[in-house]
Amino acid sequence: MVRMLPRDPVGFLRSEYEQLVSNELDWKLRILQGPSSPRCIVDGKKVIMLCSNNYLGLSNHPKLKKAAIQAVKTHGAGSGSVRPIAGNMDLHMTLERKLAEFKEAEASLVYQTGFAANSGLIPQLADAGDLIVSDELNHGSIIDGVRLSKAERAVYKHCDAEDLARVIQKAEERSPAYQRILVITDGVFSMDGDIAPLDEIARIAHDHGAMVYVDDAHGEGVLGKGGRGIVSHFMLKRDQVQVEMGTFSKAFGVVGGHVSGSRDLINFAYNKSRTWLLSGSHPPAVVAACIAAIEVLETEPEHVKNLWSNTDYFRKGIQNLGFDTGASQTPIIPVMIGDSGVAKKFSARLFEQGIFALPIVFPMVAKDRARIRTIMNAALTKYDLDEALLAFEKIGKELGLI
């Protein structure tokens, strides 16, 4: 009898990784050596940063750094526990109070990350017998949160309010009826920089008794009064959008996720959302820096104004060169290339010219929709942007794109 050798239980790890490499779909990490600033050092090279989510430049703001250092002195390096047990510091409560005031909501709850907010709260809001209706281009953290739910799912065409209404109307024909319908959308879509028609989504949801959940990670600090986000941008009332989710890791310049809404929503999440219940709370330095970031947005409006000035300037410049910027309406400005290989070559040449902007290729976007995704920053100067535009023009001509 031939003895069978045991199968290698982890052999698939290397083979799948090697396949990613052969298809040029693996991530090759570059190293940021120093702060995230408009001009920084990446892999030992001085470059202009055009791919950071640090929209307002707050990650290196002196007030945030000072607050973080002071919190370590007064509260230590870590919280020591999850918040429901012994890790709920006065700083955490202060942050949530200030965030709710900033968002003009009854209450807010801070999560460890934006991903934790979506994957932890969405499955609790919709269960068996419910329906989740999601935009087809929603972020992966929303997709994972939906998958964790026992609810049924439906998808509507990207930013298409008429199709959303069609999906909900069809769902209402179901027998027995769904107990709850939850509509979920990104506020600003991170690949194309377009804005969800949240006013229309909220109206349709209201007409059908559905809840609305918006992921405003890329809208905070960018849209609305003083950077308050997409709910403010559309001047919607709090009862029109039941869950406004966001993150401190982009325009706020730090890290962490959060949700804002009614006191009932926050009480519910306190007790039901396992990513919050079972994860260690943020260290004092992080919490204090987040508080300082909110205070900066409230007292220094020039950051949001500079961001939009740079956005308008760069988008116009790129378009005048003959590039297509897709559906962008925000500081996320994709420079459409088409072919993934060409986009990767374009990005590599940009880096050689001192411009750090990454290619976005399949499977993150369709195979023929590869692009260089540029993201504006309030701290960039017109000199920085002109230098970047010259590089785009030079390489665009080299590769026969313009």
Task: Supply the residues annotated as catalytic.
Answer: 190, 218, 250
Instruction: List the 107-111 sheet strands across, edge first.
Output: 107-111, 257-261, 243-247, 211-215, 181-186, 131-135, 152-156
Q: Is the CB of residue 102 less than 8 Å from the CB of residue 297?
A: yes
Burial code (b: 16+ CB inside 10 Å, e: under 16) for 262-280 equals: eeebbebbeeebebbeebe
Q: What share of the chain is helix, strand, coil (3-state, %, to 5)?
A: 45, 15, 40
What are 34's two structure tokens?
């120093």
What are 107's two structure tokens?
């209450």
Q: How many CA atoms lie within 13 A of 376 on its CB side?
A: 33
- By the 10 Å C-beta count (0-12 exposed, 13-18 middle, 19+ buried), 1 is classed as exposed
Q: 360: which residues sit within 8 A by CB, 6+ positions away?
A: 191, 334, 343, 370, 371, 372, 373
3-state secondary structure of 150: coil
Crossing angle of the two packed helices 382-398 and 302-321, in degrees rounded to 10: 20
Tokens 């535009």 found at = 389
Q: Can you tell me the distance from the alpha carbon of 264 to that of 268, in angstroms, rounded to the nearest whole number?
A: 6
Instruction: List the 45-49 sheet strands across, edge first.
Output: 39-42, 45-49, 355-356
3-state secondary structure of 47: strand
Instruction: Give the number of residues written for the chain.
Output: 402
Candidates 200, 226, 231, 227; CA nearest to 214 is 231
Q: Can you tell me the distance from the alpha carbon of 211 to that of 373, in angstroms, rounded to the nearest whole number?
A: 32
DSSP string, 316-370: HHHHHHT---TT--SSEEEEEEESHHHHHHHHHHHHHTTEE--EE-TTTS-TT-E
